[in-house]
């Protein structure tokens, strides 16, 4: 076994223990409360989880993307929300690593082990559509002045550093880094979503926020490319989260089928149950294979956007359908708030639209196939 494998094994073991002790027992509580309980996020920070992918020179552990993805898969088995919070953070850190200049990274990345970084594109007028972007970045001397309104940001309100997609005066797209302490920065509305209830999803409003030139990520004109890259990085991790949700659904369905009998026959011995359980197990394995391929390709510098889109598209639809099958197996208990199944469906449902809708995934996958 290589050292890297042993290190990843230890990491995954720790994530499993952390999840079992700190997250899984309060999974339903987080869903009911619509928030992380006091102290939970600090525990996550103190255990160093924000720095899993961060480079060593910035105080991180520099685990590879496969290890990060597997960590989120295991975490999502206990609580999908916290896994998505970390997904939002990790995917943003990737853009700093790939596109950030040294002085920007030296300024910001040391704090990435302690506070959340978020990536914001969506605006009231449009989601993934660049024509809809109204946020403006106006050059003034050595600085840029940014004004605009970003909504539905994963971890919006919790995150302290925001990458913002903006349009320059000559209509070029660019990504700038702002933080909450800058004058003109304001937090806005928090969404009231039906699932992933622990993850704050919110708005930031920028009113003439001034940033120095080095806060530009990459180059002017590279904004959409960075946005696409962020999407791909996110979708790989979402595939992992969805695989974790399906594992949770599978365990719930299997345990129930072992204990429960219909007319003296344990449910798992009935063909109708077997079909559902097999479907869930297969969908989980497929999604796992997809996200792992995405992570492997990314690390090997091979194209991974299409496979990442597949992981999210297939994984989200499967996780919702699997949740529904698990619900059916549990019967009345599945339909009850007292059992976890129904909130797993609501958690998974988000990923049929977040980071690009299923329909958009179809478009991207088709375009990728046509280009071959």
> Binding to another protein by residue 10, rule CB under 8 A?
yes
Q: Which of 24, 28, 40, 61 binds another protein (CB under 8 A)?
A: 61
CA dihedral of residues 287, 233, 152, 32 (deg, nearest 10): 40
Among 27, 60, 315, 348, which residue sits at the site for another protein (rule: CB under 8 A)? Answer: 60
Q: Does 3 bind another protein (CB under 8 A)?
A: yes
CB of 361 to another protein, least distance (A): 31
Residue 36 DSSP symbol: P
Shortest Å distance, C-beta 11 to another protein: 6
Beta bridge partners of 148: 206
Instruction: Say how far apart CA 79 and CA 77 lie, in whole Å.
Output: 6
Contact status: 358 vs another protein (CB under 8 A): no
Catalytically annotated residue among 73, 249, 352, 355 = 355
CB of 46 to another protein, least distance (A): 8
What number of chain residues touch another protein (CB under 8 A)?
A: 20
Q: Which of 23, 26, 30, 49 is in the footprint of another protein by CB under 8 A?
A: 49
Nearer to another protein, 8 or 229 (CB): 8
Task: Count other C-beta atoms under 10 Å from residue 152's C-beta.
Answer: 19
> What is the separation of C-alpha 226 from the centre of its chain, rounded to a whole number of angstroms?
16
The only residue of 24, 55, 59, 328 in contact with another protein, by rule CB under 8 A: 59
Using CB under 8 A as the binding rule, whether residue 28 contacts another protein is answered as: no
- 259 or 285: CB nearest another protein: 259
Contacts with another protein in 183-242 (CB under 8 A)?
none
Q: Which stretch binds another protein (CB under 8 A): 61-69, 214-222, 296-304, 355-363?
A: 61-69
H-helix or E-strand spanning residue 55: none
For another protein, the closer CB: 3 or 300: 3
Among 29, 42, 47, 129, binds another protein (CB under 8 A): 47
73 among known catalytic residues: no
Q: Which is nearer to another protein, 8 or 122 (CB)?
A: 8
Residue in 52, 104, 164, 308 binding another protein, rule: CB under 8 A:
52
The smaller minimum CB distance to another protein, of residues 7 and 357, is found at 7
Q: CB 7 → another protein: shortest distance, Å?
A: 6
State yes or no: residue 18 binds another protein (CB under 8 A). yes
- Residue 340's CB is within 10 A of a number of other CB atoms, namely 20
Interface residue with another protein among 27, 31, 36, 51 (CB under 8 A) is: 51
Q: x/- contact string, 63-92, with another protein (CB under 8 A)?
A: x-----------------------------
* Residue 17 binds another protein, judged by CB under 8 A: yes
Q: HEC string of 348-359?
A: HHHHHCCCCCHH
Q: How far is residue 54's CA from residue 261's CA, in Å, rounded to a whole number?
A: 49
Using the rule CB under 8 A, which residue among 24, 40, 62, 368 binds another protein? 62
Does position 26 bind another protein by CB under 8 A? no
Q: Can you tell me whether residue 91 is helix, strand or coil?
A: helix
Which residue lies nearer to another protein by CB, 98 or 261?
A: 261
**Closest among 324, 321, 315, 322 to 354, alpha carbons compared:** 315
Residues forming the site for another protein (CB under 8 A) = 3, 6-7, 10-11, 14, 17-18, 25, 47-49, 51-52, 56, 59-63
Residues forming the active site: 355
């Amino acid at each position: 076994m290589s050292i890297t494998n042993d290190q990843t094994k230890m990491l995954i073991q720790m994530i499993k223990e952390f999840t079992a002790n700190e997250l899984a027992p309060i999974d339903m509580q987080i869903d009911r409360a619509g928030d992380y309980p006091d102290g939970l996020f600090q525990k996550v920070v103190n255990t160093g989880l924000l720095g899993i992918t961060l480079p060593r020179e910035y105080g991180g552990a520099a685990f590879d993307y496969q290890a990060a993805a597997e960590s989120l898969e295991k975490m999502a088995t206990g609580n999908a929300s916290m896994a998505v919070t970390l997904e939002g953070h990790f995917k943003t850190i990737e853009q700093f690593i790939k596109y950030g200049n040294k002085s920007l990274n030296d300024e910001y990345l040391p704090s990435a082990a302690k506070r959340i970084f978020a990536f914001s594109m969506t605006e009231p007028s449009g989601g993934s559509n660049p024509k809809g972007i109204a946020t403006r970045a106006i050059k003034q001397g050595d600085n840029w002045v940014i004004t605009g309104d970003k909504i539905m940001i994963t971890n919006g309100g919790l995150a302290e550093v925001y990458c913002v997609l903006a349009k320059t005066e000559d209509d070029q797209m660019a990504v700038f880094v702002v933080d909450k302490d800058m004058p003109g920065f304001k937090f806005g509305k928090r969404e009231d979503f039906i699932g992933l209830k622990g993850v704050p999803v919110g708005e930031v409003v920028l009113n003439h926020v001034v940033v120095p030139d080095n806060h530009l990520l990459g180059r002017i004109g590279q904004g959409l490319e960075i946005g696409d890259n962020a999407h791909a990085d996110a979708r790989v991790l979402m595939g992992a989260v969805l695989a974790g949700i399906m594992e949770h659904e599978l365990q719930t369905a299997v345990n129930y089928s072992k204990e429960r009998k219909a007319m003296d026959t344990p449910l798992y011995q009935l063909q109708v149950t077997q079909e559902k359980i097999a479907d869930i197990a297969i969908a989980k394995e497929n999604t796992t294979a997809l996200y792992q391929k995405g992570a492997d390709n990314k690390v090997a510098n091979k194209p991974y956007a299409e496979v990442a889109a597949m992981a999210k598209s297939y994984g989200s639809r499967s996780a919702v359908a699997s949740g529904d099958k698990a619900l059916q197996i549990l019967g009345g208990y599945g339909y009850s708030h007292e059992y976890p199944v129904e909130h797993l469906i609501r958690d998974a449902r988000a990923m049929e639209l977040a980071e690009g809708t299923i329909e958009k995934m179809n478009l991207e996958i088709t375009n990728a196939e046509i280009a071959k």
